[in-house]
Amino acid sequence: MKRERQNAIVDIITTQNIETQNQLLEALKLRGIKSTQATLSRDLKDLRLVKELTGVGHYRYALPGNSSRVAHSEKLAKIFRECVVSCDTAMNLVVLKTLPGLAMAASSAIDGMEIPELVGSVAGDDTVFMAMRDVKGAELFSEEIKKLF
């Protein structure tokens, strides 16, 4: 029963913005899982859930370690949809062209994603240079970026 409840909790917080334990209790109830606040509190501690700030100034429960990556992915996708003009590779470098003034935002979002193949990035006003570990990593990363816009 505990495992089923905790699996449901993880599923709920990864698919919904849950801000409070009461909201989580209601979501569990909708799935036919009864719980007390004390039991839920222990589950949250066992799962090591954290509260993270959403983009609209509210907090929500999230998985540890995974939360920042998800948040950065969402931010990165938004940044790319709104400001990246082009992406190309030159050997192990990925070069992004952005609208004027937005290269630093794109670079910061990319750095925050903790991409293992990324050695580092440098941003100007409308250009970001990203050094990848090898040519193949640069090409794969460039393909992923192009899917975002």
Domain with residue 140: its CATH number is: 3.30.1360.40
Please choose, from the candidates 145, 142, 140, 100, the residue with its C-alpha nearest in 3D space to the C-alpha of residue 123: 100
Which residues fall within 8 angstroms of residue 82, CB to CB, at 6 or more apart? Answer: none
Considering the domain architecture, whether residues 52 and 74 belong to the same structural domain is answered as no
Of the pLDDT bands very low, low, confident and very high (cuts 50, 70, 90), residue 51 is confident
Which residues fall within 8 angstroms of residue 42, CB to CB, at 6 or more apart? Answer: none
Considering the domain architecture, whether residues 56 and 72 belong to the same structural domain is answered as no
pLDDT tens by residue, 91-125: 999 999 999 998 988 888 777 776 788 999 999 99
Considering the domain architecture, whether residues 102 and 75 belong to the same structural domain is answered as yes
Q: Is the pLDDT at 130 greater than 90, yes or no?
A: yes
Contact criterion met (CB below 8 Å) for 118 and 92: no
pLDDT tens by residue, 63-81: 876 544 455 556 666 766 7
Whether the pTM exceeds 0.75: the reply is no
Q: How far apart are the first and last CA of the chain?
A: 44
Domain closes at, from 64, 79, 100: 64
Considering the domain architecture, whether residues 98 and 44 belong to the same structural domain is answered as no
